[in-house]
Amino acid sequence: VPVLLFVAAPYIRRYVAGGRCKSTARLEGKVVIITGANTGIGKATARDLAQRGKCSARVIIACRDIAKGEAAASEIRAETGNQQVIVKKLDLADTKSIREFAEKFLAEEKELHVLINNAGVMLCPYSKTADGFEMHLGVNHLGHFLLTFLLLECLKQSAPARIVNVSSLAHHGGRIRFHDLHGEKSYNRGLAYCHSKLANVLFTRELARRLQGKFQRQVGFTANALHPGSVSSELVRHSFVMTWLWKVFSFFLKTPCEGAQTSIYCAVAEELDSVTGQYFSDCQPAYVSPRGRDDETAKKLWSVSCELLGIQWD
């Protein structure tokens, strides 16, 4: 058995690694924002996008921990030679921070070509954001919903542009519980994560529908979601059991670089220039749960999200 495992190991790893982004698209002169890019797949995504072209993209690492962000940016600048990898403060658990980030970005930058809503929390004990939203819903969905809203006009004016939402296979286990969105009546942190990932899929679907029409067809303004795979990262840090399991079974998990491939694919692949409202895994279209294809729920979630955030997004 040990011999068989040794022989099979490279094939198992190749299978676990999944699809790779084969696009060689260059990003000269482009501006990219990646939330949560100080670690994990966000950092790996930033590294890849930062080295696409001689005159590389301006990659903005938007994260809560500035010290970790600066360390990641310094590492990426050294590895890629791209000195335009910069860090900006963004706390998705606080709408004030989100608005401040957007205001500063719009004051300093003229264009935005790719927005990758990558940051997320998972398996948090029950807690709320600064605005009273359940943490998973607040960070994973509402925070990115508001950020996208605030940057949308800049994206439109910079088009062709792409919005990439990092969701998860876990959306299959989610449902939008409008009667108890913030888990005050009942709370399960595993299901709360699933609910928020379903919200990512529904947000992407409704956003793409709203972007479609004459404008979208002319300039290729797209929004897509993805499942990165089971990745060895800090995402499970709130669960001792999951952290232990992740270490024990790390051989069967994707590395951050492998997990970033579908994010990169959605951000740069030429064949996706006019593809919008879709869900990908391993750099190819993937199955969406029936709840993730429910247009009425998507529209209602959009409306409720706007109401919670105090915005009008028609």
Helix (H) or strand (E) holding 5: helix 2-17
Helix (H) or strand (E) holding 240: helix 240-248
- What is the distance between the alpha carbons of residues 163 and 272, in angstroms, rounded to a whole number? 12
- What is the distance between the alpha carbons of residues 144 and 119, in angstroms, rounded to a whole number? 9
Please name the residues in contact with 2: beta carbons below 8 A apart, sequence gap of 6 or more: none
- What is the distance between the alpha carbons of residues 34 and 137, in angstroms, rounded to a whole number? 19
Residue 287 among the catalytic residues:
no
- 8 A C-beta contact, residue 167 and residue 203: no
In the chain, helix, strand, coil percent, each to 5?
55, 15, 35
Token pair in block for residue 298: 């998507």
- 8 A C-beta contact, residue 106 and residue 154: yes
Catalytic member of 126, 193, 265, 279: 193
Catalytic residue set: 193
